[in-house]
Structure 1
Amino acid sequence: MKKITLLLSLLLITSLGFAQDDCTTATVVTEGSYTSQINDAVPGIDNGDDIWFSFTPTVSGIISISVCDDLDDPDTRVFLYDGTPGCGALGASVADDDDGCLGTFESLLTGFGVSSGTEYFIQFDDRWSVAEFDWVLSVGPFEPNDDFANATPVTCGGNYTGDTTNATLDEDGAPDGPNYDLDAPNVWFSYDSAVEGAGDVTVDLCPSAFDTSVLIYTGTSGNLSLVGGNDDNDTVCGSSGGTTRSYTTFTANGTDTYYITVEGWNFSNTGAYDLTITCAASCSPAQANQDCASAAAIAVDGSPNAVDSTCSTTNLTQEPTCEGFGDVVDLWYTFTAPSTGAVDITRTLGTAAAAHVVVYDGSCGSFTELGCSAAVDGTLTVSGMTSGSTYYLQVWNNGSEEGTFNLTLTENTLSAGDFELIGFEYYPNPVNDKLNISAQDNIDQLTVYNMIGQRVMVQNPDYVRAELDMTGLAQGSYFVQVTINGATETIQIIKR
């Protein structure tokens, strides 16, 4: 009898189903606050259980589905569907979010435009939890410059504020940059250089309240050409706004209209922006070796070469692997590998704030990276090159670190048994306090000797990076013996 009762109960559950567990049984909701819980038909999480709602907005605008208000809510995931095809043919969601509430695992779906009178379906699933949660549904007005066609005109010296929270993603098919892309709710501005004049135009988003990204284009809707952009400029914005704010400069030709779009780092990053446009005469003289095709030859002879990167411009095609989120404003060189196939590339700063460096094998447009250093200065050692072959050297900064520096290429004379130096670097040299050393493999030991051969410091990092604190050492020359995989190399360091 018990078995029959249980069987009948199971059949009853199967036939009746659970309310709101699919599109056809969705509960109708309007703008407001709700408390809900996943229908846990199959006990446990990530078992395909969910809860559905139907929403038909009375005005067109930007939808917001937020679980952010209550920090005690569980980990949620939400999907939005266009209900026009009907429940049996919804297809993929038009928008979704998992962890949009900053600092939590709760959901915030926004940045998608909905139309008045159109039915939409909202689905919360059990990917992470089936616990009760509070959520808020609202529709806000579109930003006035939400679309490319409604770009707000900007002028030199102008300041513009707004919010991307109620923006949508427009022109997402436009070209992306080397380390920034158009993939988040955005607003648009236009700079008419025929009116404002030719020159260098700086776009400053440092005071903004969220993780920003900016891209600059010319062209028309659906046919845009990328001019420049920036994700993070911590050199400029680090002290005034934050290391995740954007700041960049582009050169206007005095003829074209330039379109500036402000967005977040990803689709969930929206917020209040603060944009300032400043203009200056174009930098002069223009750099000659701005790209791979115009690379200047440099000798591997130990002689310092004076470089001024003040007028270098953004490279949109060749991004070094060790560059994070900054611009790549660069100069190019070629050199011939010496007989040992190993070269020390040393950057000594003058007025420049940084001179990062990367070495390539191959030809323009088809490179293999041999070594890359994002350190602001110091020495990068690259080996394993073929004697007599030509290699390319790209020296770059983030667009706010230009200036003078010395670039010195010196043959590194390896003895038998020395370790392979690909990716080995140390900086700064000279050093005031801490010497940074990194390698491709774990560094076994670092031993520092003074000029009379006395051992003054020993460290066993057992890691690919190490930091030697030389603060307590007297000024002068020291030898640092680096041991990797049982092989040893010695470098000379100047302590100031």
Structure 2
Amino acid sequence: MTLEINTMADVPENDSCATAFAILSFPYTLSQDASAATNNDGFIDTCSGMNDGVWFTFVGNGNDVVIDCTDIVGWDPELGVYSGSCGTFTCVGQVDDNGTGGDETLEFSTVAGTVYYINFGHYSSGNDEPEGVYTITITEHEPPQPIANDACADAIAITSFPYTNAQDATLATNNGGFIVAGCSSDMNDGAWYTFTGNGNEITVEISNVDGWDPQLDVYTGSCGTFTCAGSADDGGNSAGETVTVASVAGTTYFINVGHYSGFDDEAEGPYQINVSSVLGTQSFAGAGFKSYPNPVKDVLNVSYSKTINEVTVYNLLGQQVFAKSLNAKGGQINLSSLNTGNYIVKLTSDQEVQTLKILKQ
């Protein structure tokens, strides 16, 4: 003869709103068998309605709260969050994935000092059905804060290099409107930085991008009257961007880190920015390099004791206006297409870099 003994689960201590478990700190986790929970508080009509299941309560402190209900076995749950008091609730949020055994997650922002009640029970507001096994995990995090450099006028001034800053720009606004500066594409007004050129190459890099699609622009000019000096958008969500500009000593530059679109106002998010100033690894040996004439009417002649790989010309806004692969020890650079004015010529030879300022007549 075989004797079978069936044991019934105990009624949970938190079976009613009045005996809700008080959560005093986060993170909070509890695994529980609620199969003997009763519908003693009746159906909860607040929000979309559900069974009275098991209960938790806590006092908000202004942070965001995430409730995850997992490890569900053999029943169809719903998760409700309310403010107010037992029997007199106001709906904060409710979620039901409509699947037996499905997990439930609810995230919401709390108000400091407000009492909240969590009900985790069977989904139905018309049939008293049993709950079952589950695990509840509750975490909190500080909500995003407005950033100080949300506008060009409030751009963070970078006074020395290298510079690093990490922030969450989720609450950045498009307060300046879309930025139209002659770059390859327009973009949102995002988070702002500014620096003064020192004659070196300035590299701006953003990384640790989380959950949004950024564009990185560098401008000269002044707030509201920009000229594009450099722009990068690789077109990928959560991807980093890098821009290098040949800075002109004394020129003011602005950096805009924002959502890529020039027509949809979309949210920014977390990122890290790194700005560095780099001289050429080694200047050309003075005696071995020659360039003439200066001023230049049409053709600039250059020569060096080693192979000159590349010649690049920038205007005084730091914009590239001419580039040529030379790959010879000397050659003629035809600049007849350039307007009259001052330019910076950059020549590279392997790891060596030479820059000179010319006047184009």
What is the TM-score when the length of structure 2 is the normalising length? 0.35
Higher-strand-fraction structure: 2
What is the TM-score when the length of structure 1 is the normalising length? 0.27
Larger Rg: 2
Higher-helix-fraction structure: 1
Higher relative contact order (CA 8 A, sep 6+): 2
